[in-house]
Structure 1
Amino acid sequence: MTSLIDVIFLLLLFFMLSSTFSRYGEIELNGSGAGGLAGDRPVLFLRLSAEDLLLNGRPVAFDALPETLAELMGGEERNVLISLTPEASSQRLVDLLALLRGVDGLAASVLG
């Protein structure tokens, strides 16, 4: 009986240590050649660097981007092309894509 309890505890310990409890998120990326943009929508250009963010050539604050996009869109559906500088980190891109995901009527594509 004692050895059975030892085996059960070893199995329990093994499964507890080998399993993960975190949930991984997924962000959809459309490359420039993937054809993810609808042809009849107007296009906005977004340039992401390590320090700043330019929307159609004008600087915009990262946190104020959804409001600025809502004003520019005016209720229409739009495409946004995201261009990255070499200094932009992948975490900054993921943060930007997560922010853009909350904007209704916006299709984002990352230029490759």
Structure 2
Amino acid sequence: MRGQLPPMARPRTRRRRLSMTSLIDVIFLLLLFFMLTSTFSKFSEVELAAAGPGTAAPSDAKPLFLQLGTETLRVNGDDVGLDALASSSVGQAQEGTVLLVSLKAGVDAQRLTDLLVALRGFPALQVSVLGG
């Protein structure tokens, strides 16, 4: 056993430090990708106010009645399109005219919001949504 050499110890391999540069590059590219492919939309707000009992001043104008369905819109019994409100009796309303909005079954919040946004163009109206 004299001629045998002891087994050589393996040279220790030193662990390389992990480079953060490539990781930061990948994160930056992902961030850039998502920023460029995302769509940013601005949500509009619809003001709603609760009506108090007897707070409105009496008006000589007759109230208007609007019935909103999932596909229909009727003003005082006449079928009207959402884009044709200006040519209906809603467009010729006097200052302080009350508009009562009744919802048919199945009307979703988006349909009501679309109507309320369209009614913003008629500042003479006092809009009241009837609950059911």
| TM-score (norm. length: structure 1) | 0.68
Q: Which has the higher helix share?
A: 1
Larger radius of gyration: 2
Count the aligned residue pairs: 106
Distance in 1 (alpha carbons) for counterparts of 2:29 and 2:118: 40
Letter in 1 for 2:56: A
Q: CA RMSD in A?
A: 3.0
Distance 1:16 1:109 in 2: 46
Q: More relative contact order in 1 or in 2 (CA 8 Å, sep 6+)? A: 1
For normalisation by structure 2, the TM-score amounts to: 0.60
The answer as to whether partners of 1:50 and 1:88 remain within 8 angstroms in 2 is yes
CA–CA distance in structure 2, aligned partners of residues 35 and 16 of structure 1: 48
Aligned residue in 2 for 1:10:
27
CA contact (8 A) 1:46 1:54 kept: yes
Unaligned runs of 5+ in 2: 1-18
- Hey, what's the Cα distance between the residues in 1 that align with 2:71 and 2:20? 61
CA change 1:12–1:107 in 2 (3 A) is farther
Alignment of 1:5-84 (within 5 A): 6-7=23-24, 10=27, 13-14=30-31, 17=34, 21-30=40-49, 34-35=50-51, 38-41=56-59, 42=61, 43-68=63-88, 69-71=90-92, 73-74=93-94, 76-84=95-103
Given that 1:29 and 1:110 are in contact with CA atoms closer than 8 Å, whether structure 2 keeps it comes out as: no
Q: How far off its partner does 1:15 sit?
A: 8.4
The match for 1:107 is 126
Q: CA deviation at 1:92?
A: 2.0
CA shift in 2, pair 1:40/1:12, >3 Å: farther
Query: Separation in 2 of the partners of 1:15 and 1:26?
Result: 30
Q: CA deviation at 1:14?
A: 4.9
| Aligned equivalents of 2:111, 2:102: Cα separation in 1 | 12
In structure 1, distance between residues paired with 2:21 and 2:58: 68
